[in-house]
Amino acid sequence: MKGFDEIQQLWQGQRPEPNVSFETILKRIQGSKAALAKKLFWQSIAVGVAVVLLLWMCFTVDFSTWTTYLALAMLGGCVCYYFLNQLRDYRDIKNSEHLLSKPEDYIQYLKTFQQKRNRFNTRNYAVYEICVAVAFGLYGIEMYFVLPFWTFVGAIAFMVFWFLICHYIFMKQYIRNENARIEEMIANLERIKSQFRDV
Amino acid sequence: MNNQRQLFQQLFEDNSKKVYHLCYGYTGDRDSANDLMQETFIKVWQNLEKFRNQAQLSTWIYRIAVNTCLSYLRTAKRRATDELNENIVENYAEEYSEKQEQIALLYKSIAKLEENERIIISMVLDEIPYSEIAEVAGISEGNLRVKIHRIKHKLTEIYNSNERV
C-alpha cells in the first residue's frame, strides 16, 4: 500500500528522460520549415502547370464556340479556388496564436477548424463535381459541332458514366468516411473540452 | 539570431525534462513523448519573440505542451487502455528492476485517468506550483485544488489496486 507521497517520490526518482538533444530539435526546426515549404512549392507548381495548360489551350487552340472558353475558365477557377483555400488553411495552422490559448479555447479552435475543413472537403467536393460536369457539358457543345455524331454520342455516354461512378461511388464513400472520422474527432474533442471547463 | 539560439537552449535545458514527463504521462509511451516534446519545442522556437515579454516563460511552455498533447489525440486513434498499458510494460521490459516495474505501474495507473487528470497530475508530481498549473490548465486555483485532491486519491487507489494484482 503506497500513499501519494511515496508515489511522488517514485516519480521523481524515475529514469526516463528525453533522448532528444537540443541540436536534434534545431535540425528538426529547419527540416519542418523545409518540408512545409516543399509541399507548398510542389502544390504551387501543380496549380501553375494546370493554369498554364488551360491558358495555352485558350490562346493556341482555335475553339469554335465561346462555351468551351467558359468551360476552361470554370476549370481554371476551380483549380485556383482549391489552391487558395489550401494556402489559407496552411497559414491558419502555422499561425500559432491559438496555441497559447487556454486548453478549453484551444479545443474549441481545433473543433471549429476541423468542422470547416470537413465542410470544405465534403460540400465543396459536390460543388467541384457540378462545376466540372458543367464545364464538360459546355465542352460537349463544341464536340457536337466537331465530332462525327456517333463518336460524340460515345464520348458523352462515357462522360455521363464516369460522372455517375464519381457521384454514386467515390463521392458518397468519401463523404461517409470523412463524416465518420470528423464525428469521432469532434466527440473526442467535446469530451476533453468538458474536462477543462472551469466550474 | 545567436541570442535567440542561446535563449532557446536555456529554455530547452530548463524545461525539456518536465515537458517530457508531461508528454510521457499523457501518452504513456516514450516514442510519442519524445515526438510531442520535440513538437512542443519547435513551437516554442516559432513563438520565441512573443515569449520575451512574458514573466513566466515556463507557464507558456507548459501551455504549448498541453495544447500539443491535446491535438495529438485529435489525430492519433485513441487506443484502448489495455493496449496503452501493454506498451508501457514493453517499454520497461529491457531494463527490468523492481523500481522500473513500479514506475511502469505508475504510468499504467496514470493512463487510466482522464486526459486533463493526466496533465494535471504529471505537473503535480513534478512539483510545479499550483498557481502555474491553474494558469496552464486555464482554470481557477480553487477549482484546481479540488481537482488535484480528487485525482491524487484516484491515482493512489488505481496504483494500489494494480500493485495488488
Residues of B in contact with A7 (CB under 8 A): 106, 125, 155-156, 159
Q: How many domains does chain A have?
A: 1
pLDDT recorded at residue A117: 78
Establish whether this prediction's ipTM goes over 0.90: no
pLDDT recorded at residue A1: 76
Domain-embedded: residue A159? yes
Give the structural domain span for B160.
2-164
Give the structural domain span for A123.
62-195
Residues of chain B with pLDDT under 70: 1, 52-55, 73-96, 165
Domain-embedded: residue A128? yes
Phi, psi of A108 (to 5 degrees): -60, -40
Q: At what angle do helices B98-110 and B2-27 cross, to 10 degrees?
A: 90
Contact B38 A185 (CB under 8 A): no
Distance CA B24, CA B87 (A): 12
pLDDT recorded at residue A32: 65
Domain-embedded: residue A20? no
Secondary structure string (H, E, C) spanning chain B: CHHHHHHHHHHHHHHHHHHHHHHHHHHCCHHHHHHHHHHHHHHHHHCHHHHCCCCCHHHHHHHHHHHHHHHHHHHCCCCCHHHHHHHHHHHHHCCCCHHHHHHHHHHHHHCCCCHHHHHHHHHHHCCCCHHHHHHHHCCCHHHHHHHHHHHHHHHHHHHHHHHHC
Domain-embedded: residue A29? no
Q: Does B56 touch chain A (CB under 8 A)?
A: no
Phi, psi of A21 (to 5 degrees): -90, 170
Residues 6+ apart with CB under 8 A from A63: A69, A142
Average pLDDT over residues A60-79: 89
A71 burial type by CB count under 10 A (0-12 exposed, 13-18 middle, 19+ buried): buried
Domain-embedded: residue A50? no
Nearest-CA distance from A73 to chain B in Å? 37
Contact A18 B46 (CB under 8 A): no
CB count within 10 Å of CB B6 equals 10
pLDDT at A28 over 70: yes
Domain-embedded: residue A6? no
Domain-embedded: residue A33? no
Q: What percentage of chain A exceeds 90 in pLDDT?
A: 12
CA angle, corner A64, sides to A62 and A67, nearest 5?
110
Distance CA B56, CA B64 (A): 13
Distance CA A163, CA A124 (A): 16
